Structure 1
């Protein structure tokens, strides 16, 4: 179990330090007036600093150390952690609780939002979907196969705006709002594998239908785009097996089951009927 030491900035600009073994739930408690006597009446709170520890005693010891620091040193601690790309983090009730560096969000499993694009269509009479192969230099799932476009929702973006941007940046698809169909949102929690982090995210799914071969122009993070039969993709959720895919040039290749990084069961169950309806 993870244990966190954290600093909040309250609505009156004061700082509060605490510890918890569930930071997402604890943020919701603070914002509901149940987290601590000090933060009651000082919401909404913003998460401005956090550390993660393997044991409760370590987190509590660090909390005590930080509480002894003067405000200037607490501010310096906060400033030292706030660098790089920022992502909005949320509490367990879905309220935004500030922006934290992407590296911290992933390393500590902070709750954030992402978007997923399911590009479906009929190719040579076969209903299916397009997957991207991630570049081999990507830090997470290098060379793995994912949905046609995925990515973080930046601060200030709507899920739809983020999806249109990610489709353009990753697969080269220039889509308009009317080209994508909302397909629900799905909580997903999983270890990040080789980089040692943990993802806790709410994925907003969207569909777009393009028959034949879409005008893909993959960006620098994507190595290739491949088409797999929907029935074969469905079977991969129930019984692990390799998939046969067709590249844009018509050649075939094998997609190893272990390289599929888009098999999220709850999302699949949520979008499956809509995919099948759109492909009728």
Structure 2
């Protein structure tokens, strides 16, 4: 399998070189990613969409995460990141349909895993609940949603769990999942707060 090369940055987002994805994660080096959050609006109420990561994923299998996301390779631009939406979700869209909420620092630091990202983060607003999802099975096992306000209450620890409604899954009988914070990929608090506040402002 061909190695993926990513650009390496310092903490001020200045490019300082490149190396393989595995080397960068092993040493906790800063790199760039593309994040796209889907927000569905129903009767003025915004719902945030999460992907459930495939159970065969090496990192955080089965946990809930950004609707679509991926690394920006060393030879790519930020706009090339839109491919992740098509690859993971089967949804065709252009960058013009997305709203940028900026570059957000996001760190996930655990034993044996150091992921330091400059996340180019976007929001896609839709009023179509029945988007034509076609999931990349080795990456994504389902799409789930919750009212944005409930997600915020969970991360503020005002509630211990929330209900995630199943939007699309191979399991036709699955209606909803009761989720706690442990069921989500542990993105940095600053990152999550920025996403939630930005989604509230642009809804």
8 Å CA contact 2:155–2:181 kept in 1: the answer is no
Question: 2:85 matched to which residue of 1?
Answer: 167
* Pairs within 5 Å for 1:1-280: 84-123=3-42, 126-162=45-81, 164-192=82-110, 196-211=112-127, 212-220=129-137, 221-239=139-157, 241-248=160-167, 251-261=175-185, 263-279=187-203
Q: Which secondary structure state, in structure 1, belongs to the residue aligned with residue 7 of structure 2?
A: strand
**CA distances 1:87-114 after superposition (whole Å, capped 9, x unpaired):** 1111233222222011111111111111
Matched pairs, number: 194
Q: CA deviation at 1:192?
A: 4.3
8 Å CA contact 1:184–1:271 kept in 2: the answer is no
Task: Report the CA distance shift for 1:227/1:262 in structure 2 as closer, same or farther (over 3 A).
Answer: farther
Which sits farther off after the overlay, 236-245 or 105-114?
236-245
- What's the TM-score, normalizing by structure 1? 0.64
- Deviating above 6 A after TM superposition, structure 1's stretches of 4 or more consecutive aligned residues are none
User: Partners of 2:179 and 2:11 in 1: how far apart?
Assistant: 36
The unaligned stretches of length 5 or more in structure 2 are 169-173
Q: CA deviation at 1:150?
A: 1.2
The unaligned stretches of length 5 or more in structure 1 are 1-82
More strand by proportion, 1 or 2?
2
What is the root-mean-square deviation of aligned Cα atoms in Å? 2.0
User: Partners of 1:151 and 1:205 in 2: how far apart?
Assistant: 11
Q: Which secondary structure state, in structure 2, belongs to the residue aligned with residue 248 of structure 1?
A: strand
8 Å CA contact 2:106–2:187 kept in 1: the answer is no
Higher relative contact order (CA 8 A, sep 6+): 2
Question: 1:9 matched to which residue of 2?
Answer: none
More helix by proportion, 1 or 2?
1
User: Partners of 2:151 and 2:185 in 1: how far apart?
Assistant: 12
- What's the TM-score, normalizing by structure 2? 0.86
Larger radius of gyration: 1
8 Å CA contact 2:107–2:187 kept in 1: the answer is no
User: Partners of 2:151 and 2:187 in 1: how far apart?
Assistant: 9
